[in-house]
Chains A and B, each alone.
Chain A
Amino acid sequence: MTPRTLYEKIWDAHVVERRTDGTCLIYIDRHLVHEVTSPQAFEGLRAAGRLVRRPDLTLAVADHNLPTTARIDARGRRLPIADPAGAEQLAALEANVAEFGVPYIQATAPEQGIVHVVGPEQGFTLPGTTVVCGDSHTAAHGALGALAFGIGTSEVEHVLATQTLLLKPSRTLEVRADGGLGFGVSAKDVALAVIGRLGAAGGTGHVIEYRGDAFAAMSVEGRLTVANMSIEAGARSGLFAPDEKTFAYLQGRPMAPAGAAWDAAVERWRELRTDEDAPFDRSVRIDAATIAPSVTWGTSPEDVVPITGVVPDPDDFADPAKREAARAALAYMGLSPGERLQDVGVEHVFIGSCTNSRIEDLRDAARVVRGRRLDPRIKQALVVPGSGLVKRQAEAERLDRVFAEAGFEWREPGCSMCLAMNPDKVPPGERCASTSNRNFVGRQGPGARTHLLSPAMAAAAAVTGRPADVRELL
């Protein structure tokens, strides 16, 4: 048999029908649904008189819109959502899941959280499965060896109705990082380095497989961060071959197989790896030792420099389009060429989002924050756990106290300040050190200026009032 990559193995195992032009009807094993990209899909089903084919393979949870302030009052009653449009979307989701029989994690349940935190945490995401969600950061689930990608609302409707998608195979892109990570360097810095290297469109049309000992050494949570940001390099999915760490992470999760089924599953999952000699369409190598704690300066995640770096000069870009983009980015960000990133003051800090809101992220940030206080220039600093379970775990470890004593706000789980859709926003012209995944114009609020960085670096920014070199604080 010809050697195949991990991607090709998962793809082949899910082909329902192959068309003559190479398009395949691909079976979808897992479908995550949230409140923002699903109402029109359910509406479409209703209008056509269609049902959800496999509610048992579907899981709904609200996250994008949901305010991260208290959800229940002292007597345990659910508090209303102030924003009428947000409240309506949540109500629509609740009505839709009830009507179509889709399993739903209540907004007030301890398991509620960001779709991409909840899927792995519940064991809904499993190695070798196909996972989709109407959200581009679905790529995150690839950390567990699932072929996972974001879809639009028409595709959400298509999956609800048919449990399949009509897809063309992607090209394969190996991103290999060997060597150990330097002191103070996190998975987020690796993700930013990969995007910086590939460019924001470099992975378009490709599925990335992360290989090499630097990725093998990464925890599952770190891999979730890296896979999550695959889309920021244009790749719809990013894959890690499942290994013992993956199995240890999944064992005992509520929706993961148990008992004999678990043993059988692990045996199958061990086969999920790229064959030796399997060719990739493209390969990129990164020397892990050269990656530094990093921060973005512009309005695309590819605009990244080491924390010791300076804002680049647009004139230094060879490509005229890049030059123009850099100029616009600097104007938007209120930065000048040559300025040291460490001299740029920030007013907001956001620790959260599906990229960096798991327990390890909060531990990393707390390590830096412990015994320190927010810099007086910081107007608001939020810690938003990725799920209720992460929140409880952090509280059991008293991390909430560490943050609160430093002056951070400790919130309820949700997307929060990642996308400016709920009340958590960065005001116009103000600057935020953020562990989220996008620094696009207006992403964290109209006129908001975002600097992406790791949880430890965000913590460092919070206690110094500027992007700081976390290595000096550890």
Chain B
Amino acid sequence: MTPVRTVHGRAYPLGRANVDTDVIIGAAHLKTTGRAGLGVHAFETIRRGPGNVFADPAFAGAPILIAGDNFGCGSSREHAAWALADMGVQAVIAPSFSDIFAGNAFKNGLVAVVLPQPVVDRLLEVAREQPIGVDLETMTVTTPFQDRFAFAMDPFRRECLMGGLDEIALTLASAAAIDAYERRTGT
């Protein structure tokens, strides 16, 4: 995984709540055996509507997405995280994420930043005109207007993101403990 320390640039001010995984990437696009190429199909139902943020050239290739509550709810499909990554999104900011999506995002080097709704509202407002910065080092989101919002992140996840670490390799370092567990429980 590529290490990520900061993400800076325009942010899609999507804003809506309960953006489910079917909206992020429709089931018709899950019939792939690879991870790449899903970006063009992301948010298809939203893209079809008039005046949406994904059609606005100002946000083309934006590395950040700002959404409402419960982002990524629904299915466990990691294709949602792959599609975002394939679109060039490196960080998503929302008041809350579904548990499974948050895990999938992190495993693909996608930074999921949780901030309270009023802060997200402020960022949505700024994002319409200006870039946003997400800094894992200082754990802050900043705007060109001197806003500085601190966020919390699981230390292990942060370390993996910043180091670009492979979680399986880390776990395999505990192989002896897994062997011992299997012996102890007769599994």
Contacts and interface: CB of A to CB of B under 8 A. Distances in A.
Interface stretch (A271-279, A284-292, A434-442, A463-471): A434-442
A324 B187 CA distance: 51
Contacts of B81: 152
A190 interface: no
A441 B18 contact: no
Contacts of B168: 44, 48, 50, 157-158, 161-162
Contacts, number: 172
B33 A37 contact: no
A92 B30 CA distance: 14
Interface string A370-388: 0000000000000000000
A67 to B, nearest CB: 13
A416 interface: no
Given A89-B33, A446-B28, 12 more contacts: A16-B181, A37-B78, A53-B178, A152-B76, A153-B104, A162-B172, A164-B174, A166-B156, A201-B73, A321-B16, A325-B16, A438-B22
A364 B108 CA distance: 44
B147 interface: no
Interface in A81-96: 83, 85-86, 88-89, 92
Q: Which 8 A-B pairs give the minimum distances between C-beta atoms?
A: A85-B31, A152-B104, A154-B107, A39-B33, A152-B78, A150-B76, A201-B70, A153-B78
Interface residues on B, range: 35 or more
Interface residues of A, number: 66
A420 B28 contact: yes
A201 B18 contact: yes
A43 interface: yes
Contacts of B175: 162
Interface stretch (A2-10, A17-25, A304-312, A404-412): A17-25
A27 interface: yes
A457 interface: no
A242 B178 CA distance: 27
Contact of A85 (B32, B68, B73): B32
A65 interface: yes
A438 B77 CA distance: 14
B16 A43 contact: no
B187 A29 contact: yes
B88 interface: no
Contacts of B148: none
Interface in A47-88: 48, 50, 53, 57, 64-65, 83, 85-86, 88
A161 B20 CA distance: 29
A57 to B, nearest CB: 8
A20 to B, nearest CB: 9
Contacts of B187: 27, 29, 57
Contact of A204 (B99, B108, B177, B182): B99
A86 B31 contact: yes
Given A157-B168, A300-B18, A446-B45, A421 B154 contact: no
Interface string B33-58: 11100000000010000000000000
B98 A151 contact: no
A19 B69 contact: no
Contact of A200 (B26, B31, B73): B73
A40 B22 contact: no
